[in-house]
Structure 1
Amino acid sequence: MTIAPYRLGLTATYERADDAHELLEDTGLIGPVVYEEAVDELAGEYLSEYETIHMQVELTDDERSWYDEEYGIYREYVDTHEFDLWKAEGYQEFLAHTSYDSDGRRALIAKQRAEELARTATKKLDTLDTLLKRHHDDRTIIFTANNDFAYEISQEFIVPCITHQTKTDERTEILERFRTGEYSMLATSQVLDEGIDVPAANVGIILSGSASKRQYAQRLGRILRPTDERQPARLYEIIATDTMENYVSQRRREGVEAGA
């Protein structure tokens, strides 16, 4: 506990996926939320006007066949053991089983393979190509869930890339060139989600990510810094249709943007 008689908590991303934010109230460190304002209510005056565009791409025939096979293995195991994956406790129970049950480990691996296939779907790159050509005069950040995909995009489209492996000096140089306009786009995994000052961008493209509202809000925030041009920012979200990404997309957008 602290000796301060009064305590005030300020944050742009209060909720956590693991519900740990509830501990603030339960432990008495900070009381309940007394005031909050949605992003939409700040847009136009304190933040840039913005729009979100949700795009879905089909898996190729080979990708669909592989995805259905791997996802089927995962779902069969989960359904057989009746894990309630809608609750954090249910998923933790599933993970606990994977530590001693070979079928459980196979199910976990199958889930990870299915997720990776959806995250890196071939047609996502085709859609990305179209968007980068459309926004070639804009300042664009491409968000991915892992380093390998970020590097693949960097090589495919000849754009600078920042991951947690990028040395500090190199990262600083890339961000400075992005700020001055020498670089108009860059690819990144999760390292730019928070904690690093990123120059103003007006286009964000999410190719993959978690179900975390916190991560989604941070990525949206990267394109909402007001600029002299006052042009609306755009956040694109590209997901593989009829995959786990549909659920992930819905979860992370809840309560962050209007109508989600």
Structure 2
Amino acid sequence: MTIAPYRLGLTATYERADDAHELLEDTGLIGPVVYEEEVDELAGEYLSEYETIHMQVELTDDERSQYDEEYGIYREYVDTHDFDLWKAEGYQEFLAHTSYDSDGRRALIAKQRAEELARTAVKKLDTLDTLLKRHHDDRTIIFTANNDFAYEISHEFIVPCITHQTKTDERTEILERFRTGEYSILATSQVLDEGIDVPAANVGIILSGSASKRQYAQRLGRILRPTDERQPARLYEIIASDTMENYVSQRRREGVEAGA
């Protein structure tokens, strides 16, 4: 126990998607939030000026056909059981059903397959190619939701990649080369979202991710270190249109971007 009469906590990512942050107040470990300042209020003085660009791509005919089939299986099960997926409790109830209901397990697998089709949509790579050419003089981090997609991008565009599988020495070397400018592009999954010191970048491209505001804020933060650059930092978000990614994108941007 601390003998200090007061304690102060500072964080850029207080809220959690599972609402676990509320336990801090409920258990009396800390008091309520006493002061908040939005990212936009810090831009220009303590952080770089920035802009976010939201982009959508269409699924191919084959991807759309597969997506609609898998998503239909998932939605039919959810609608039949009337789960309220807008609330964390509703989704937990759905997951509980999948542990003993074979139809529920099939619905969960269908959901995961639909999500993967959206995350790895072919036209995302076409858009990524365009953006990398546009920002060839910038320092860019490409964010994905999983290792496989990060490795695919690394192979397709011949750029270094860091995942949780990357050994410490290799990761240190890649980040140092990124810092010096020898590498100008870096692909990663979720390992660089937090907890690792990453050299300044001025362009971020989110190809896939979770609905977590925490993750989105961390990824935005990777491009907000103050620099002498006169151009604002840019965070691109590329999603597959008319898929679950629309909802995911909306959820993670709420309360992080101005006006989101």
TM superposition score category, shorter chain reference: over 0.9
Q: Which consecutive residues of structure 1, in runs of 5 or more, have no partner in the other structure?
A: none
- Higher mean C-alpha displacement, 227-236 vs 211-220: 227-236
Alpha-carbon separation, structure 2, partners of 1:245 and 1:176: 33
The answer on whether the counterparts of 1:48 and 1:230 sit within 8 Å (CA) in structure 2 is no
Query: For the residues of structure 2 that align with 1:3 and 1:148, how far apart are their CA atoms?
Result: 48
Deviations 1:82-101 (A, max 9, x none): 01111111111100100110
Kept in 2, the 8 Å contact 1:55–1:236? The answer is: yes
- Residue 171 of structure 2 aligns to a residue whose secondary structure is helix
Distance in 2, matches of 1:9 and 1:22, equals: 15
Match of 2:124 in 1: 124
**How many residues matched?**
260
Report the equivalent of 2:17.
17
Moved more, 27-36 or 174-183: 27-36
Q: Distance in 2 between the 1:56 and 1:165 partners?
A: 30
Q: Provide the C-alpha distance between the structure 2 equivalents of 1:4 and 1:58, rounded to a whole number of angstroms.
A: 56
State the alpha-carbon separation in 2 of the partners of residues 246 and 259 from structure 1: 17
CA distance in 1, matches of 2:231, 2:218: 20
Q: CA RMSD in A?
A: 0.8
Instruction: Report runs of 4+ in structure 1 exceeding 4 Å deviation.
Output: none
CA deviations over 1:152-200 (Å, ceiling 9, x no partner): 0000000000000000000000000000000000100000000000000
Deviations 1:88-120 (A, max 9, x none): 111111001001100000000000000000000
Q: CA deviation at 1:5?
A: 2.4
Structure 1 match to 2:82? 82
Distance 1:49 1:229 in 2: 10
Identity %: 97
Instruction: Measure, in 2, the Cα distance between the counterparts of 1:25 and 1:7.
Output: 13
Shift of 1:133: 0.3
3-state DSSP class of the match of 1:90? helix
Per-residue deviation, 1:3: 4.3
SS at match of 1:51: strand
Structure 1 position 25, deviation (Å): 1.0
Specify whether residues 75 and 2 from structure 1 end up closer, same or farther in structure 2 by C-alpha distance, changes over 3 A only.
Answer: farther
Conservation of the 8 A alpha-carbon contact between 1:160 and 1:187: yes
1:112-154 deviations in whole A, cap 9, x for unaligned? Answer: 0000000000000000000000000000000000000000000
Matched position secondary structure for 2:56: strand
**Is the contact made by 1:120 and 1:149 (CA closer than 8 Å) also made in structure 2?**
yes
Tell me the SS of whatever aligns to 1:8: coil
**1:24 CA drift (Å):** 1.2
Instruction: Say if 1:143 and 1:208, in contact at 8 Å, map to a contact too.
Output: yes
CA contact (8 A) 1:48 1:231 kept: no
**Distance in 2 of aligned mates of 1:24 and 1:3:** 19
Q: Is the 8 A contact 1:211 1:251 kept in 2?
A: yes
How high is the TM-score relative to the length of structure 2?
A: 0.99
- The residue aligned with 1:204 is 204
- SS state at 2:55 partner: strand
- Give the whole-Å Cα distance in 1 for the aligned partners of 2:195 and 2:109: 31
Structure 1 length-normalised TM? 0.99
CA-CA distance at 1:2 after TM superposition: 4.6
1:43-95 residue CA offsets vs partner (Å, 9 max, x unmatched):
00000000000000000000000000000000000000001111111111100
Gaps of 5+ in 2: none
Deviates more, 1:225-234 or 1:212-221: 225-234
